[in-house]
Amino acid sequence: MNIAIDAGNSRIKWGVHDGSRWLDSGVLATADVEWLSEAADEWPAAARVAICNVAGHEVAASIAALLAGRYAQVSFLHASTEACGIRNAYEHPWQLGADRWAALIGARALLGSTCLVVCAGTATTIDRLDASGLFRGGLILPGYDLMRAALASNTAQLPFAEGVFRSEPRNTRDAIVSGCLQAQLGAVERMFAAIATEPDACCLLTGGGAAPLAAHLRIPFQLTDNLILSGLVRYAESL
């Protein structure tokens, strides 16, 4: 039995996995990390716990404290030179975000072909994983909502737009929405162009901000729930 916890910048997601399927899952705001203890009261006591955290030291300490004494095996995932069939080509492997590393592990467990791993959240990350299991590198850019928020907070006359995606926007709200989405889509599609001729090349798309991208991507992709959590389960099983 495995428990996976993904502590992100905005949300904490968790899931209980029995080795073949998800038995339970949940999500809460990262600012409400203390409420995770209520979920933990219902988790199986003999489970292994694997955590990835990109929300800072205080959140990590809070999670560690509320799990202390409850579980014999609690592991925080950190990027390394190699794990679960993946080799890390980052210049300084340990600087890779734990969430990106977990997503890559999850992708490798799901596919044996070259793929682009796209996690759309507060930030959007776009990572290339070769069929051999080599992580070649990737991009980090502000997420779709963060792009819109940056325009709203750093300009005098532009709102946080709730417009419609159009190829030729003719009002300001649609122009903002379309511009921010085009930036996301363009980054993904440009990265995919480098692997498009690889056998069975695919984009794995996950995260809370994945849906707007999925509606407009022009490349082969799979919308994949819980990719980071699945990577954490795979990591826990490898220990």
Active site residues: 99
H helix or E strand, kind and range, residue 128: strand 123-129
Element (DSSP H or E) covering residue 195: none
Alpha-carbon distances of 56 from 9, 31, 35, 124, rounded to whole Å: 8, 11, 17, 18
Q: Is 130 helix (H, G, I), strand (E, B) or coil?
A: coil
Of 10, 5, 7, 4, nearest in space to 121 by CA: 10
CA distance 17 to 2: 5
CA 148-104-87 angle, to 5 degrees, is: 130
Tally of residues, the chain: 239
